[in-house]
Structure 1
C-alpha cells in the first residue's frame, strides 16, 4: 500500500513562478543571463574599488617640483605613487566595455535570440504550441531589454560616481568617443539599438552566423556615423581667438585665423539627449520592422 504525500500551500501564500514564453527565454538563454550577471557583478566590484582609489590617484597625478617648492610635492614622491595608473587603467576598461557593448549585444541577439531558433525550427515549434508569434517575439525582446536597461544604467551611474572629480588626465575628456558614450544615457540607447538591430537581422536572415555578421556590420557602421556627425548634433559656439585660448574642456570643431567653432563642456547633455533620441527612434523602427516581418511570414 502506498500513501501519496502532498505539501499543502497556505491560501494567499502561493509561490509565484515564471511561466510561458518568459520562462522559455530564461531556460534557453541561461548562459547569456549568467554572463551578464557576472559582468555586472565584476563591473560593480571594480568601480567600487576604483572609487576608493580616486583621491589617491588625484594626488599621484598632481604637479610636482624638484626640489619641492611653492607648496608642490617632490616629484620623486609623486612618481612613487602608482594609484593614478591603476585608477586610469580601470576607468578606461569599464568605459571601453560600456562604449562597445552594442557589438556583443547585436551579435547575440542576431545569432542566439532569433536567428538560431528560426534556423533550427524551435521558433516554429513554439508557435504550434499555442504561443502566438507576436507573443513569442515580445518575450524574446522584453526580458533582454529590461535586463540591459537596468544593468547598463547601474554601471553608468556607478562609473560617473567613480570618476570623482572627472580629471581628464585620469578619466579622459568628455568628448572622447568612448567617454561620451559611457557616461550618459547614450550607453543604454546603444545597447537597446544593438538588441533591436540584432533581432531584426536574425528575423530577416533566419540563420545564426550570417545574422550575427550582418548585425555586427550594421552596428559598427552606425557607431562610426554617430562618431563622425556627433559634433553636428547640436549648434556650435563661435569665438574670436584674439587673446583667447581654446580650453581643453571644449571640443574644437573647426577654426580659421580669427575664429574658432567649438562645443563647450555645457553641450555634453544636449548632445547626449539628441543622440539618445536618434538611437531610440532607430530602435523603435527596427522593432516595428521585426514584428511586421514576423506577422507577414506567419500570416
Structure 2
C-alpha cells in the first residue's frame, strides 16, 4: 500500500485534472456512473462511445451517471435506515460531489472524509459557497487513523463509492467503520471486485492503485466479521460499463502526445477496465449492510 504522503501527493497532483473532467452543476464526482438501458439504449448498443459527442456532452453523460449512482445507492440504504436524516459519513469523499448531493437533495448532515488536505479545502469552500456549511463538514484524515476524524456521536449512515477497492485491508477498514457507527446504522457502498485474485486484471489493478482488490465474497466475509449483516447485494456490472466508454472517449479528445505519462496510463487503465467488466473478469456491486 502507498504511504499517506504518497497518496496525498498523487491526489493533489490529480486535482485539477479531476475538476476539469468531473465538475458540473457545483459537484465533482470521481467515481463511475450507472446507466439505464431503457432510457439511454445508445450507450449500451455502441462499442466504444464516439468521441465526436464532444467534451461538454461527454462530461454531462458521465455526471448524470455518477449522480444516478449516488441516488440509487441512497434509496437502497434508505430502506434500512431507522432514523430520518441520519448523521452521515462520506468515506473517501474525494472532491465532495457525493457529500454535497446528499446534503442538497436529501438534507443530510455529512462529514466528508478525505486524506488529502487540498480536497478538504475544496469541499469546505464549495459547501460554504452553496450555503451548506451547516450540513457538509470536510474532515481531513486517514481512514486507518480514526482518532483523526472520529465523530463525537456515532454515524447512522456511512456511504462510499469506488474507494474500498483502493484501500486494501478491508477487515481493518470495516472494523474501524463499525466502531464509529451506532447499532442499526447502515453502511452502503458501490465498488469493483475481481472474479479471481490471481487474474491478470487483478494484478494490473493492484499495480495501478498500489492496492489489493478483493472478490465480492471476501468483502462479504470481512463485513460479517466486523459485525455487519448484509441487507442487499445488487449487481451493477452491466449498468456501469458505459461509463468507461464515456471516459475513454473523453480521454481521446483531451489527451495528446504531450500529455503526462500518468495521464496516458490513466487512459489505458480505463480502456482495460471497460474490457474487464465487459468480459466478466471484474464485477461492480452495490452493497448495503447494517451494524448488528
TM range (shorter): under 0.3
Structure number with the higher strand fraction is 2
Please give the TM-score of this superposition, normalised by the length of structure 1: 0.20
Structure number with the higher helix fraction is 1
